[in-house]
Amino acid sequence: MNCEHADPADLDALRAAFDVDDGGASALGWDAVRAFEAEHGIVLPEPYRTFVAEITDGSYSGPPEYGLLSLAELPGDWGDDGQERDPGKPFPLTEAWLWEDDPEPSDGDDELIERVHNHGSLVLGTDGCAMNWHLVVTGPHRGHVWLITDVGAVPFGAEFGHTTADPGFAGWVRHWAANKPWHDAA
């Protein structure tokens, strides 16, 4: 997984997975991507950065269940708990954490859970029922995709033991695209 340079093969796979054929009309463009990055003090990880700049900024056609959100958009069921999202602050986790099953919760767990939901990531989309996919944009897990729910957070990718797929945005999309016929038939 290379977060600094977009692999042309990854970009081709992303174009094919999302079936985008609008000549880049649905993409943000580089000026808008750089403005977003400057506003938040981040650099988006590749290949997501090139994807939103040149291919498309969101799509109903695919992952996750309710489609890929546009940059900085939140799912409709996100709610308004008064917490500010700050992608420029480091994402706080480096391993899976199921806080619902934590036998000895600490006093700082609620604050850490808020940071897991709101710091260092972009919300890619939702599978519904507060199951949201995040792309980590800051911290040690920059470039990785995480499933963050109301009960815990799990990184996506074979190296974490939760799937056989490659990590990162391209691996996440490839995994979805490989399973799409099964998914559509369900």
CA distance 148 to 98: 10
Q: What is the pTM of this model?
A: 0.91
pLDDT at 55: 94
The letter for the amino acid at 5 is H
* Residue 104 predicted with pLDDT over 80: no
Reading the block at residue 148, the tokens are: 């963050």
User: How much is the average pLDDT of 154-173?
Assistant: 91
For residue 47, which of 96, 94, 13 has the smallest C-alpha distance? 13
Residue 150 neighbours by CB distance under 10 Å: 12
* Residue 143 predicted with pLDDT over 90: yes
Residue 59, strand partner residues: 68
Reading the block at residue 145, the tokens are: 């995709």
Helix (H, G, I), strand (E, B) or coil at 141: coil
pLDDT more than 70, % of the chain: 92
How do the domains of the chain map onto residue ranges? Answer: 8-185
For residue 24, which of 35, 11, 36 has the smallest C-alpha distance? 11
The letter for the amino acid at 171 is G
Say if CB 77 and CB 41 are below 8 A apart.
no
- Report pLDDT digits (tens) over 43-85: 999 999 999 999 999 888 778 888 899 998 888 777 665 568 8
For residue 74, which of 134, 156, 34 has the smallest C-alpha distance? 134
Q: Which CATH number fits domain 8-185: 3.40.720, 1.10.10, 3.40.1580, 1.10.3470?
A: 3.40.1580
